[in-house]
Amino acid sequence: MIWVNGDIATHLPVTDRGLLYGDGVWETIGVQQGKPQLLDWHLQRLSAGLQALNIRFPNLEAFRAEILAACVAQERATLKLIVTRGSGQRGYSPATTTEPTRILQLSHWANYPDSYTEQGIRLTLCETRLAHQPRLAGFKHLNRLEQVLARAEFGGDYQEGLVCDYDGNVIEGTMSNLFVIRTDGAICTPDLTQCGIAGVMRRYIIQTLEKFGGQCHIHPLTLKDVEQAHALFMTNSLIGLWPVREFSGKQYTIPPLLRDLQAAIHTLA
């Protein structure tokens, strides 16, 4: 089921700048028992992205009400939000654009095998690198060709691919964020000020670690840091937390902390 600007629809004008330039932002949200999980944080990131692109969207609260109404009868679903700058006259200039376009799509729950959560996943290294663009880093805009190229590199043997920047720093998975537990017990996740998407589930994990009395260190990470880690895991709003059981020919353990974090994610439902 799809709504475009509040009406049930399947199509969008060809002149929408979301298509023409990727001029917009989006969110993917898990819905359980009628409730979109971590909705406030998703809307906060959406809002930050709109601000970074200078897209005026005064209807955020009305959009929130639409979202909640759409989800109320959904026991388990995936919710996708898109807000674009809307249509305008020809050319890159956003000066002549009309009202933003808001899209809300409910679809089936992403049914990944339970084994990914329980036994962990096989992670591969992508050759595609992320460019440094601090103006577009952190939020979830519609310019996602780097992710498409990286995701195209691997098939069913791997469940996720790790992507580095051109400086050799490890940044994230193609659709998830990376966390590293070092052999000394320190927990780290890559700095995302130059590129990458700061996931809402990443934020939840960082907050939950603090609640557990720990701390997550955010700084640049190299491939060596990843290879020498004690444990690795990937997160996003739909998968929750996937432990990594294999990367680059090395096997990783799944420490009890990961089960505690998974249990915390479970309470969101």
- The least distance separating a copy of itself from the CB of residue 84, rounded to whole angstroms, comes to 8
28 labelled catalytic: yes
Contact between 48 and a copy of itself by CB under 8 A: the answer reads: no
Helix (H, G, I), strand (E, B) or coil at 84: strand
Contact between 26 and a copy of itself by CB under 8 A: the answer reads: yes
The DSSP bridge partners found for residue 160 are: 123
Rounded to whole angstroms, how far apart are CA atoms 224 and 239?
26
- The answer to whether 227 touches 236, Cβ cutoff 8 Å, is no
Question: Which of the residues 27, 140, 174, 189 is marked catalytic?
Answer: 140
**DSSP codes of every residue in 137-205:** SBS-BS--HHHHHHHTT--TT-SEEEEEETTSEEEEESSSEEEEE-TTS-EEEE--SSSSB--HHHHHH
Question: Which of the residues 124, 146, 172, 235 is marked catalytic?
Answer: 172
Question: Which of the residues 28, 78, 124, 189 is marked catalytic?
Answer: 28
82 to 111: interface string for a copy of itself, x by CB under 8 A = x-xx----xxxxxx-------x-x-x--x-
For a copy of itself, which residue of 7, 8, 14, 114 counts as binding (CB under 8 A)?
14
CA dihedral 184, 188, 190, 192 (to 10 degrees): -150
135 to 174: interface string for a copy of itself, x by CB under 8 A = xx----xxxxxxxxxxxx--x----------x-------x
107 to 136: interface string for a copy of itself, x by CB under 8 A = x--x-----------------xx-xxx-xx
Q: How far from 215 is each of 69, 89, 227, 245, CA to CA, in Å? A: 37, 49, 21, 23
- The answer to whether 243 touches 232, Cβ cutoff 8 Å, is yes
| β pairing state of 187-190 and 240-247 | unpaired
- The least distance separating a copy of itself from the CB of residue 228, rounded to whole angstroms, comes to 28
Q: Which is nearer to a copy of itself, 76 or 132 (CB)?
A: 132
- The least distance separating a copy of itself from the CB of residue 1, rounded to whole angstroms, comes to 11
- The least distance separating a copy of itself from the CB of residue 187, rounded to whole angstroms, comes to 27
The DSSP bridge partners found for residue 104 are: 3, 81
Amino acid of residue 95:
A
160 labelled catalytic: no
The set of catalytic residues is 28, 140, 172
- Which residues lie near a copy of itself (CB under 8 A)? 2, 4, 9-23, 26, 53-54, 78, 82, 84-85, 90-95, 103, 105, 107, 110, 128-129, 131-133, 135-136, 141-152, 155, 166, 174-175, 195
